[in-house]
């Protein structure tokens, strides 16, 4: 009986080891995001109400982690307090991008210093382009894209879906140049 139980345990253990995903698949898939690597800085605007825009300075430090199985993106956005003598405001963010083997997709996870975080599915529809959608409690669906433009800049845009569900309105544009 002991031999039978031991044989059963060994069979289960060897089966679970045999089903472990191959980490080279994660690394291989994530190479689609290699265009994001580096230190980036530039400016952008955010416009959530009509034609009013808030302008800011943006930086990203984007690097491989876990032997290339994950990408870490550290962001900093500084709004200059030029209106009504407001002080400068800096928002920090941390993102991870990884291939999620169980769902056969990319997951992008955002963390902000104010405790907000989100996980979204990311796609690479074109070479040097990444897109994802997010659900905002007040704004609804927001579609983001980040790509390399013809001048080699990293351009990030955000659009919100109008209430009627028919058209997208641009609410974010960031243009960053690669440092070094």
Tell me the pLDDT tens digit for each residue of 22-59: 556 788 899 999 999 999 999 999 987 767 888 999 99
Tell me the pLDDT band of 18, cut-offs 50, 70 and 90.
very low
What's the token pair of residue 102?
A: 């169980």
- Average pLDDT on 93-120 reads 90
Write the DSSP assignment of 115-138 as a string of letters. Answer: S-EEEEEEE--STTEEEEEEEETT
Q: What CA dihedral angle connects 30, 34, 35 and 38, to 10 degrees? A: 130
| Helix H or strand E encompassing 150 | none
- pLDDT > 60? residue 9: no
**CATH number of 2-178: 3.40.630.30, 3.30.1330.10, 2.40.128.20, 3.30.9.10?**
2.40.128.20
pLDDT value of position 96: 96
What are 55-86's pLDDT values in tens digits?
999 999 999 999 999 999 999 999 876 666 66
Domain borders along the chain are: 2-178
Task: Assess whether pLDDT exceeds 80 at residue 163.
Answer: no
> For residue 100, what are the β-bridge partners?
105
pTM for the model stands at 0.80
């Amino acid at each position: 009986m002991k031999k039978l139980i031991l044989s059963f345990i060994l069979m289960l253990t060897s089966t679970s080891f045999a089903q472990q995903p191959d980490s080279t698949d994660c690394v291989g898939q994530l190479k689609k995001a290699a265009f994001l690597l580096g230190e980036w800085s530039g400016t952008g605007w955010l416009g959530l109400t009509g034609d009013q825009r808030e302008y800011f300075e943006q930086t990203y430090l984007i690097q491989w982690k876990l032997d290339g199985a994950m990408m870490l993106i550290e962001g900093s956005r500084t709004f200059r307090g030029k209106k009504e003598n407001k002080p400068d405001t800096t928002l920090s963010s941390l993102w991870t991008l990884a291939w999620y083997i169980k769902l056969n997709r990319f997951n992008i996870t955002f963390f902000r210093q104010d405790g907000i975080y989100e996980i979204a599915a990311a796609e690479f529809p074109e070479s040097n382009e990444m897109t994802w959608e997010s659900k905002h409690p007040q704004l609804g669906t927001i579609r983001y894209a980040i790509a390399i433009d013809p001048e080699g800049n990293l351009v990030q845009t955000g659009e919100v879906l109008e209430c009627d569900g028919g058209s997208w309105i641009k609410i974010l544009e960031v243009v960053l140049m690669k440092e070094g």
